[in-house]
Amino acid sequence: MFMLCQKITQCRKALFDWSRVAFDNGVSRTNALVEMVEVLQQDNAQGQHNQCIRELRQEVNTLLLQDEIYWRQRSRESWLTAGDRNTKFFHQRAKQRKGRNLIKGIMDSNGIWWENEAHMGNVAIDYFNDIFSANPSMEMDDTIHVVDCVVNEDMNQQLLSPFTALEIRQAAFQMHPSKASGPD
């Protein structure tokens, strides 16, 4: 399990580095294109650069749209509609969410605070191993007799039956269009 977590972390870091190289030049590229448009407009007395200016403006608009889509996805807000602009407010919301989801450290069962990623992974594994492993001193029969039976036999058969195409379709179409599906 720990190896899987390490591989996922390595993959996340590699994807992050790749995205920096592949997509990070959007702002600088946009600024360079805007400057080129301004230079061409100043030297466009007879209209000889009209076609080039039009193409550059189209490319600037495409880059701005890509940037807006990126920040819309980062904001993870369903109320962000297609008409909303890419503003400082939405950048702050995206950064705020990232900060809120960041785990800076974790305390183990002995009260020791760990900030190292490897130690935090070990603390989490130990915690879940502890709560999900059977305790031989507990009498499970006594506990089971106290719990009310909620699922009857018919419900159990329905839960164990294979998914139908209609159920899969309904679940897929209930998802928000800009959200990713989860493990459930």
* Cα 164 versus chain centre, distance: 29
- More reliable by pLDDT, 138 or 115: 115
Residue-wise pLDDT for 88-137, tens only, equals: 776 777 777 777 788 889 999 899 999 998 899 999 999 998 888 877 66
- What is the structure's pLDDT at 130? 85
SS3 55: helix
- Residues 34-54, mean pLDDT to the nearest whole number: 86
SS3 114: strand
- What is the structure's pLDDT at 24? 62
What is the CA angle 76-79-80, rounded to 5? 70
Q: Using a cut of 0.85, tell me whether the model's pTM lies above it.
A: no
